[in-house]
Structure 1
Amino acid sequence: MTDTYDLVILGSGPGGYVAAIRAAQLGLKTAIVERERLGGICLNWGCIPTKALLRSSEIYHYITHADAYGLSVEKPSFDLAKVTERSRKVAGQLNNGVKGLMKKNKVTVVEGNGRVTAPGKLEVEGGQGKVQLEAKNIIVATGARARELPFAKADGDRIWTYRHAMVPPAMPEKLLVIGSGAIGIEFASFYSDMGAKVTIVEMLDRILPVEDAEISDFMTKALKKQGMDIRTSTGVQALKSSPKGVTAEIKAADGKVTTEEFSHAIVAIGIVPNTENIGLEELKVEKARNGHIAVDPYGRTNVPGIWAIGDVVGAPWLAHKASHEGVIAVEAIAGGKPHPMDVSNIPGCTYSRPQVASVGYTEARAKELGRKVKVGKFPFIGNGKAIALGEAEGFVKTVFDADTGELLGAHMVGAEVTELIQGYVVARQLETTEAELMETVFPHPTLSEMMHESVLAAYGRPLHI
């Protein structure tokens, strides 16, 4: 027997389950297929549980520095198992929340491994055998998995991917983090604050390479000040684990190779799209050079009725980007006229200590595009709220088109910038100019005042520096 729907979504991560909800709102009979847990990697093993871990390390950092706030705490300590348990409970709570949302919106959940067998047809193999589904449209939202080193597979004991690092069997004493994107930096920050000696190795010439160069430079200095060993233009040539630890051959920028010992290693060198064994090759669904599914700005593939969203279609690999793509695709499927996807308006956030957030073009990229720019910067040390919080390290940077006043990009590093960045995201979405931002009133005392000051600084009008 075949179950028939208007839409079937393969994958229930932040792209898939949000798409399902929007489809239900638009009156489409919808089913979602999931092989593991509703919410996907982000909710169960990524965005949410890592933030729970980072919250624990943040509080532990404050406890160990209580004297700076006039407080006294004797012999602070932590229970790693309880820290991990809290993180898993947070993920579990939200997983149940997604189940409730599917029920509320009357979305059918089909458990098992899904495979597209033809346009409009999908087969799911699960605990109750094979189920046949038919739909006018199918959205592929299968996400991605951690890229592993070809010469050193993660074993979960000494060599970890992000998934292993969230449920550590033991606290690392000396940790090697390979890769300095958001995932690598977040785990480096967590384990460093919890007491591990951390070394970060990055093949490119700076950490957080997708961020503005000044942000990368600031973060390098900040993390070194915290005690981390950061090595750029450096690669790991070999990695071997044993019951006692990890041995790494590390090639430095000058070509010198050293053999070093660590207790554990985290491999954070990117992701691989989950495109295998779901029927795409047989249907001749086109892929981009990087192996991701090729789509138009609305999520359409080259095969009619087959759509794709989220990590499986490419960068930026972010949950909120996947959710937005899901809404756009569903509204197009329903016959609406949604706006096309614009990844330049997708904010990026790194929840380390200090935090990093950005949207739009870096200063260098704006210049590469031939734009004449005006740049404004304002330091945290000039903000009363930041000083009162004891968080006076960081800055806000804004990049404007010198001729039109268009906000080309915004870049932040410091406390709570992952919350602040949305102000600039809204400004870009509304095509706000420098004049309108200058005329906006920001509440005092808040960290957000630095956003205003940075805009003023771009035009030689800062008030507090």
Structure 2
Amino acid sequence: MVYDLIVIGAGPGGYLAAERAGGAGLKTMVIEKKNIGGVCLNEGCVPSKTILNSSKIYEYAKNGNKYGVTCENVIYDQKKVIKRKNIVVKKLVSGIQAVLAKNKVEVVSGKGVIVGKTSEGFEISVNGEQHTCKNLIIATGSEALIPPIPGVKEAFEKSIIVTNREILDLTTIPERLTVIGGGVIGLEMASYFATVGSKVTVIEMMDRIGGYTDREIGTILKGNLEKKGITFLLESKVTKVMDSRVYYEIEGKETSIDSDKILLSIGRRANISNIGLEKLSIAVEKGAIKVDETCKTNIPSVYAIGDINGTSMLAHTAYREAEVAVNNILGNRDIMRYSAIPSVIYTNPEVASVGETEETAKNKGISFEIKKISMNYSGRYMAENEGGDGIAKVLIDKKYKKIIGVQIIGSYASEIIYGAGIMVETEMLVKDLQEIVFPHPTVSEIIREAIFS
């Protein structure tokens, strides 16, 4: 049997590509070596947001007196939280499996490896059997980066060091948690464990947290997280790990800190090894598969989507890349655009961004103006946040008067940012945005308030 499409990897990009292709009538197979849903559903996005929500409820209960609600003897049960997380993940995985079945997608459990190409198509091996396809989508995702720092490997083998995968299964709260890396994953887990009782220290090489998040907003977030008791060691380099002690260099001096658990969160790398890329001479650049604007590799009819192409390692990016790849396979020209990909840090408060920041706009030589406003201009934000210090920033292209970027720190930021993404994607003009009616009272009104400020 020759399949119209085989997808290697059933993470967000892979399963959606298979679903879209199957729904369009293509004979489709998807191969997954671990769990349907990939890292995002099983070891990242969804489980982390599930436990973060529990910690937010706990935080509200403990601090409810600000809002006239007093709770006594508030108990946080980590075992129950993890049990609920597992139930949520299981339900969502079942839902994806049902959708794949509905679209007549054949799901195979095992490791898919490219064997080569024949006159009939591409040969893919899984579980000792070979399958042929006319089109191939590679969506094997990424894994946590384990750096060659002395002692890291040994501490990982002893389960002292954990990655995003293992930390989401901890059934006890560590008394002391050291987070190596102040990026999105590191900050979310730091926020979570600090809220539920850990003494958290974050070690970051850069002079800021949140990667390339807007610097001002990153500073506000840092202040909020410090109020939770988190200690930040910026411009610090981890030099070695000896069991539960982390050694780091700061201002030219080496010092150390003891930990009960160490979260290693310094980035991810694409899973390009041992999947047979060399059999088709698929081009690789900077540790990821090189693709064009249609997500196609240098080999006709072979596409790479999601983390494997290293362009934008976010689940929602993979969703769109899946649609672009499948559309082109179906003969419908489509291209991938990355200028309006939203990003979110699900700490409390949340941070969300889309489009240009001050730094990126300056680096590109864009002439722009900034409309910045306190979130306290939103009635709902004020009503729900005692002492909140969030802000919203809207970047406007001076020449064309169009929206080119939005950054927000505050409640509901993750739910608002998609609307800002539409503004950036459609190059909405300020005069048009001023005519849009926002529901009142909502936090989303802050964008309109910023424009008129």
Question: After TM superposition, is the score higher than 0.5?
Answer: yes
1:182-214: CA deviations, max 9, x gaps? 111100011011011111111111101221111
1:277-298: CA deviations, max 9, x gaps? 1100232211112x00000011
1:379-435: CA deviations, max 9, x gaps? 122221011112533111011111111211111111110001011111122221111
Mapped pair 1:349 → 2:347: no
SS of 2:246 mapped into structure 1? strand
**How far apart, CA to CA, are the structure 1 residues paired with 2:438 and 2:122?**
53
8 A contact 2:184–2:211 mirrored in 1: no
Matching residue of 1:459 = none
Mapped pair 1:360 → 2:358: no
User: Residue type of the partner of 2:5?
Assistant: L
SS of 2:266 mapped into structure 1? coil
8 A contact 2:116–2:124 mirrored in 1: no
1:77-100: CA deviations, max 9, x gaps? 111111111111111111111110
Q: Quote how far apart the aligned CAs of 1:156 are.
A: 6.6
User: Residue type of the partner of 2:29?
Assistant: A
RMSD value over aligned CA atoms? 1.2
Mapped pair 1:336 → 2:332: yes
Mapped pair 1:272 → 2:269: yes
SS of 2:112 mapped into structure 1? strand
Matching residue of 1:321 = 317
- How many residues matched? 445
Matching residue of 1:17 = 15
Query: Which blocks of at least 5 consecutive residues in structure 1 are unaligned?
Result: 457-461
User: Residue type of the partner of 1:155?
Assistant: E
Mapping of 1:126-165 within 5 angstroms? Answer: 126=127, 130-151=128-149, 152-153=152-153, 154-155=156-157, 157-165=159-167
Mapping of 1:29-428 within 5 angstroms? Answer: 29-119=27-117, 120-126=121-127, 130-151=128-149, 152-153=152-153, 154-155=156-157, 157-241=159-243, 246-252=244-250, 254-289=251-286, 291-338=287-334, 340-390=335-385, 392-428=388-424
User: Residue type of the partner of 2:344?
Assistant: C
8 A contact 1:156–1:164 mirrored in 2: no
**How far apart, CA to CA, are the structure 1 residues paired with 2:298 and 2:172?**
47
**How far apart, CA to CA, are the structure 2 residues paired with 1:308 and 1:272?**
15
More moved, 151-160 vs 193-202: 151-160
SS of 1:346 mapped into structure 2? coil
Q: Quote how far apart the aligned CAs of 1:35 are.
A: 0.8
1:39-82: CA deviations, max 9, x gaps? 11111111111100100100010011121121121111111111
Q: Quote how far apart the aligned CAs of 1:169 are.
A: 4.6
TM-score, structure 2 length as denominator?
0.96
8 A contact 1:145–1:274 mirrored in 2: yes
1:335-389: CA deviations, max 9, x gaps? 0112x21112110011111111101111111112111111011112222101111
Query: Which blocks of at least 5 consecutive residues in structure 2 are unaligned?
Result: none
